[in-house]
C-alpha cells in the first residue's frame, strides 16, 4: 500500500508475538477506517484473535493526549480500548479491539431507550474522570469556544456557500457566537469527551458501551457531551424523547451530589450548548470537503443546521439570527452544488 503501512506491519511483527494467540505465519492486517483526522485504523487478525493498530503520523497527530486520556478513563472504570503497546516516535499504537458495531447502526425506536440509558450511565462515570497528577486537561475556555464557532463563518458561510456578510449579518453572527459562549461558560465544568456521539460509541452485547476518539478531551460545560449525544449530527430523535433524557440526566447529576439548576434552565443550557457544537460541526464538515477532499460529511449539514435554526428560533434574543439563516443561508444552499432540494425539503428549512 504505502511506506507507513509497511513500517506499521513490521512494527506489529515485533510486538504481536508477545500475545499467545498470535501466529506470525498466519495473520493479516485489514483496513478498518480513517477518520476526520490523519489517523488510520487497521485490524490485525490471527485466528480468532484481533487487535486494532493505529497509524498516526507524528508530524501531523500527537498521540500523547490519547494515551493520557485513555489511561485516566480506564482508571475511572470507563470502557476504552486498552493500550497494549506503542511507539510514539513512529506514531504507532496497538489497542484492544471493540469490534465493528457502532451505536449508530444499532439505534432504532425500539432500542434507543436502552442504548442511550447505557450511554448516559457511561457519561455520568466519564464526567467524574480526573487526569493523572500533572496531566491537567485543557480548559474549554472563551478562546477555544470562539475558535470553534468561527469555523462556521469562515468555512461554511464564506467559503462553501460563498455568502458575503454585510455589516448587519456580521453583527448577527457575532451576537449569536457571544450568546452561546456566555451560556457555555456559566455551566459547571467537568470532563468533556468533546465528540461523544453514535459513531464514537461501540455497541458490545451484554457489556458497557466502548468509548473511542476521546483524545481531544477538555474540562468544560456539563451539558456539552449530553448535547453531542442527544442532538447527534448523524441521527435525530423527537423533542419529547430528547428532553425526557435530558431531565433524567439532570436528576442523575443531582443524585450524584452535583448542584444543578431547575429543569427549564438546564434545558436552556443544553439547547444553547448544542447550538455551539453544531456551529463547529457545520464548519468542520465544510472544511473537510474544501481542504481535505472528504465530502461525505456534507450530507450531515442539513440536519445539523436544522438543529441550529430550531434552537435560535426558540430564543427571543436569537430569533433575528434564525430569520437571517432562513432568508440568506438556505437559498444559498439551494443554489449550491452540494445540497439537493430533496434533502433540504426533509427538514423545516423550506
At 317-337, the pLDDT tens digits run 999 999 999 999 999 999 999
Q: What is the pLDDT of residue 179?
A: 98
SS3 annotation, the chain? CCHHHHHHHHHHHHHHHHCCCCCCCCCEEEEEEECCCCCEEEEEEECCEEEEEEECCCCCCCCHHHHHHHHHHHHHCCCCCCEEEEECCCCEEEECCCCCCEHHHHCCCCCHHHHHHHHHHHHHHHCCCCCCCCCCCCECCHHHHHHHHHHHHHHHHHHHCCCCCCHHHHHHHHHHHHHHHHHHHCCCEEEECCCCCCCCEECCCCCCCEECCCCCCEEEECCHHHHHHHCCCCCCCCHHHHHHHHHHHHHHHHHCCCCCCCHHHHHHHHHHHHHHHHHHHHHHHHHHHHCCCCCHHHHHHHHHHHHHHHHHHHCHHHHHHHHHHHHHHHHHHHHCCCCCHHHHCCCCCC
Q: Using one digit for the tens of pLDDT, what is the confidence trace for 263-313? A: 999 999 999 999 999 999 999 999 999 999 999 999 999 999 999 999 999
Q: Taking 50 as the threshold, does the pLDDT of residue 349 lie above it?
A: no
Cell of 166: 454585510
- The residues, ordered by sequence, that sit 6+ positions from 194 with a Cβ below 8 Å of its Cβ are 214, 216, 217, 218, 220, 224, 225, 228
Q: What is the pLDDT of residue 1?
A: 52
Q: Using one digit for the tens of pLDDT, what is the confidence trace for 140-179? A: 999 999 999 999 999 999 999 999 999 999 999 999 999 9
**Short-list 343, 350, 268, 272, CA closest to 307:** 272
Instruction: Please report which confidence band the pLDDT of residue 2 belongs to, taking 50, 70 and 90 as the band edges.
Output: confident
Q: What is the pLDDT of residue 44?
A: 97
Q: What is the pLDDT of residue 63?
A: 93
Q: What is the pLDDT of residue 350?
A: 42
- Please compute the mean of the pLDDT values over residues 123-129 and round it to a whole number: 96
Query: Which one has a higher pLDDT value, 1 or 159?
Result: 159
CB-neighbour burial class of residue 318 (10 A; exposed 0-12, middle 13-18, buried 19+)? buried
Q: Using one digit for the tens of pLDDT, what is the confidence trace for 34-88? A: 555 688 999 999 999 999 999 999 999 999 999 999 999 999 999 999 999 999 9
- Please compute the mean of the pLDDT values over residues 206-223 and round it to a whole number: 95
- Please compute the mean of the pLDDT values over residues 201-229 and round it to a whole number: 96
Q: Does this model's pTM top 0.85?
A: yes
**Short-list 30, 26, 7, CA closest to 17:** 26
Going from the C-alpha of 38 to that of each of 68, 81, 194, 249, the distances in angstroms are: 19, 19, 18, 34
- The residues, ordered by sequence, that sit 6+ positions from 68 with a Cβ below 8 Å of its Cβ are 131, 132, 135
- Please compute the mean of the pLDDT values over residues 241-251 and round it to a whole number: 98
Estimate to the nearest angstrom the gap between the alpha carbon of 299 and the chain centroid. 16
How large a percentage of the chain has pLDDT more than 90?
89
Q: What is the pLDDT of residue 347?
A: 56
**How high does pLDDT run on average in the chain?**
93
Instruction: Please report which confidence band the pLDDT of residue 341 belongs to, taking 50, 70 and 90 as the band edges.
Output: confident
- The residues, ordered by sequence, that sit 6+ positions from 197 with a Cβ below 8 Å of its Cβ are 228, 229, 232, 233, 234
Q: Taking 80 as the threshold, does the pLDDT of residue 342 lie above it?
A: no
Amino acid at each position: 500500500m504505502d511506506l507507513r503501512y509497511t513500517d506499521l506491519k513490521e512494527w506489529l511483527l515485533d510486538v504481536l508475538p508477545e500475545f499467545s494467540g498470535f501466529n506470525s505465519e498466519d495473520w493479516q492486517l485489514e483496513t478498518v477506517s480513517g477518520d476526520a483526522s490523519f489517523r488510520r485504523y487497521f485490524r490485525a487478525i490471527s485466528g480468532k484473535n484481533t487487535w486494532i493498530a493505529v497509524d498516526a503520523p507524528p508530524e501531523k497527530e500527537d498521540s500523547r493526549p490519547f494515551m493520557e486520556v485513555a489511561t485516566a478513563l480506564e482508571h475511572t472504570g470507563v470502557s476504552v480500548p486498552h493500550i497494549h503497546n506503542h511507539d510514539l516516535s513512529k506514531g504507532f499504537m496497538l489497542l484492544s479491539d471493540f469490534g465493528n458495531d457502532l451505536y449508530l447502526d444499532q439505534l432504532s425506536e425500539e432500542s434507543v431507550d436502552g442504548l442511550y440509558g447505557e450511554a448516559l450511565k457511561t457519561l455520568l462515570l466519564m464526567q467524574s474522570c480526573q487526569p493523572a497528577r500533572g496531566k491537567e486537561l485543557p480548559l474549554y475556555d472563551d478562546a477555544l469556544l470562539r475558535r470553534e464557532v468561527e469555523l462556521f463563518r469562515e468555512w461554511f458561510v464564506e467559503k462553501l456557500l460563498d455568502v458575503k456578510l454585510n455589516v448587519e449579518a456580521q453583527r448577527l453572527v457575532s451576537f449569536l457566537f457571544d450568546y452561546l459562549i456566555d451560556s457555555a461558560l456559566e455551566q459547571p465544568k467537568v470532563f468533556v469527551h468533546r465528540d461523544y456521539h453514535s459513531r464514537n460509541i461501540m455497541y458490545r452485547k451484554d457489556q458497557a458501551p466502548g468509548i473511542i476518539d476521546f483524545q481531544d478531551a477538555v474540562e468544560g460545560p456539563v451539558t456539552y457531551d449530553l448535547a453531542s449525544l442527544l442532538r447527534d449530527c448523524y441521527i435525530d430523535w423527537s423533542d419529547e424523547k430528547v428532553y425526557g433524557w435530558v431531565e433524567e440526566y439532570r436528576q442523575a447529576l443531582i443524585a450524584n451530589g452535583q448542584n444543578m439548576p431547575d429543569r427549564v434552565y438546564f434545558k436552556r443550557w443544553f439547547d444553547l450548548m448544542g447550538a455551539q457544537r453544531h456551529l463547529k460541526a457545520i464548519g468542520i464538515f465544510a472544511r473537510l470537503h474544501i481542504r481535505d477532499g472528504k465530502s461525505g460529511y456534507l450530507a450531515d449539514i442539513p440536519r445539523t443546521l436544522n438543529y441550529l435554526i430550531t434552537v435560535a428560533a426558540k430564543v427571543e434574543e436569537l430569533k433575528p439570527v434564525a430569520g437571517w439563516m432562513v432568508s440568506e443561508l438556505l437559498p444559498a444552499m439551494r443554489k449550491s452544488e452540494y445540497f439537493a432540494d430533496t434533502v433540504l425539503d426533509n427538514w423545516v428549512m423550506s
